[in-house]
Structure 1
Amino acid sequence: MSKEFSTAPSEFKRAFEQNRALFAAQPAILQRFLEAQAHHIAQALTEHLPQVKFSLPDRVVAEIPQIGQPAPVAVPPAAREQSLGGLKNRIRGTNVREEVRHRLIALEQSADHAIATSASLLRYAAAIHMVHNMLPAGRSVEYRADEGEEIATLPVAPLEPESAITQASDAIAEESSADEGRGDLQVPFVPAARRFYLPQWVSFDEKDALLVGNIKEAEANLASMQRYVEILHAASSLAPYILADEEYQKKRYGMLGQLINQGRALARYKAGEIIRTIKVRAQSGNLNRGLSLSLPYYDDQELKMAQTNFEVIPAGRIMFVPAFVVRAVHEEAAKRLQDTRFNASTRKHLLVILQILEDAFSQMENKK
């Protein structure tokens, strides 16, 4: 993770340290005020609220060039109350997130030193709130990149044996009403889950075996991980220098690797479900009127599940044979090899899923 941290541009590190020092220079009561306003801003950015209101403080401690040292400076009352969004914006379809960012940048460029300093403080406080307060911290993890890939997604740590001693990061606390007053029940995570940053959202082991109750739970876990990364992105969009924050780097590294790993596993698992469904329908003769497939994959550029659609058997009275699937997979793979919309790692992942499909029906064809 130190390597990840060192990739932050020097200007980001400098800006981050300057804003951190500026925030630390404010009186405690003013810091609490800024944190409260930052909460409103962060909520609007991450929950896509149609409107956001926040206030600048009545005064800030800022560097005064004339005296060469920090001193309290009053913020003009007319500039304190800020309101963005509302009915007009909903009609226009304006993005409040962009409005907030542009407003804070505009305020930072104000000729009034107190207004500019207040905006800088709010931008810093909102980004810190999103990274440090809105997102749970996870385990210390290390991933490695698969061959030919840039993003590290494969846990390096070996599978740990079950232990009688359970640490806080090894289990999730469940409170039972039947045992009220007796404390939380520590439910250990399986060893495969403990290799990742936040084990509570791990749905598949290294062999794509489902670790949760059903596929809906796996999809919910993936959605939680995607929201985690979206909040990190919202913070870096608001204050790009937050990339130099060590906590940001730890959380981004830990969750990005886990998200892509589990997204790909979910896609492979769903591909297996599709294979099983096709085989069942083929045995019952329900595929003799055509077959089209929507094959899932995980797009690690967009960081979301996607699907590729292709025809296996055209509509009509054509008897299903496994060779049709093999041929369709070959054609689809050839198309994706030439598709410039995919980056190398997403294309590789999709080709793996197509290969799973081909192998399943090649074996079925050979058994005939």
Structure 2
Amino acid sequence: MFDYETIRVIWWVLIGVVGIAFALTEGFDFGIGTLLPFIGKTDLERRVIINTVGATWEGNQVWLVLLGGAIFAIWPAVYATLFSGLYAAMLLVLFALFFRPAGFDYRSKLENPGWRNAWDWALFLGGTLPPVLIGVLVGNLILGLPFHLDQDLRTFYDGSFWALLSPFALLCGVTGLLLTTFHGALFLKWRSEDVIHDRAVLAVEFLGPMLIAALSAVMLWVFIGIDRPEITQMAGTGAPSNPLHKTVVGNGAGWIEHFMQYPWMWSAPLAGLGGFAMAWWMGKGESRMGAFLFSSVGIVGIALSVGFALFPFLLISSTDPKSSLTLWDASSSHSTMVLAFWITVIFLPIVLLYTRFVYRIIWGSVTEAAVLKDSHTLY
């Protein structure tokens, strides 16, 4: 039904959708964890904050599992390069995520203040470290990773963990943390009342300008300070996958020229900055849903900006540009992609409908009275 070129593009879009779903949902979960020790001043206030995401955080985290599984099935070369070359960084993300289920499930088992305070800080770490590390990863995707392929298409990573922590990548890490914390503050404002609601508004007012400034700095750095590789010759887009069947120069036309070649792509960064600007302006006032939706527009815009900027690259090699992986030469077989597509078409709508059902059932403000009433069933 679909030729090889078409199914590759379809899967590029589908995996992008899964990544955006992860950023939108797990983004505010991470933000809630980061804000927990600062907005919640008492044990009861912290229980209120935790229970704004208590019923949905596990389902939101599944998007990350689905993202990893989709990359494994559709872009195995990308999966192999990332998870072997960045093994230490991936383990740090995994270990940070370990704090979350333990923190949610064990925090309220004992009434000891020291016990609960320790798990509050565990939830803080579980909400703060992953967006920083994922931001650093995105920064390195733009800069390029030091790897090369041999003639047998085996991947060799030429860098180290510390080499990932360049100034640009660290700026992207800080930006990732600001993004999730801002998004989480808007979600908390939407689902809370009284003093927690007021503190969330203050957090929105404080974080908004910092996020917009950080995003602007990242975009400016990309456009004027980083070289973009350029493919000068490659096999047909419907050809079997072989990353070495192309010619790539390390210093191409540049990121601005890439966007100027397709002017419609400028809508993505504009939507990103504009969405967060509107979310900040509305979030300072009485708006709840509107501010959060504009923040979601901002996240979608930034995610699309990264995808459009890299296209057709999936992983750029900074040491051997020819070894860079693209969606045309790093994908699975045609039959695998078609089979996975039909499985996705059947089951993804079911997942989305169930997710919508869950949010509709549990929706509403979480209050101190509600937590005290159901003290033994809520976190």
TM range (shorter): under 0.3
Work out which structure has the larger RCO, using CA pairs closer than 8 Å and 6 or more positions apart in sequence: 2
Higher normalized strand content (fraction of residues)? 1
Provide TM-score, normalisation by structure 2: 0.24
TM-score, normalised relative to structure 1: 0.25
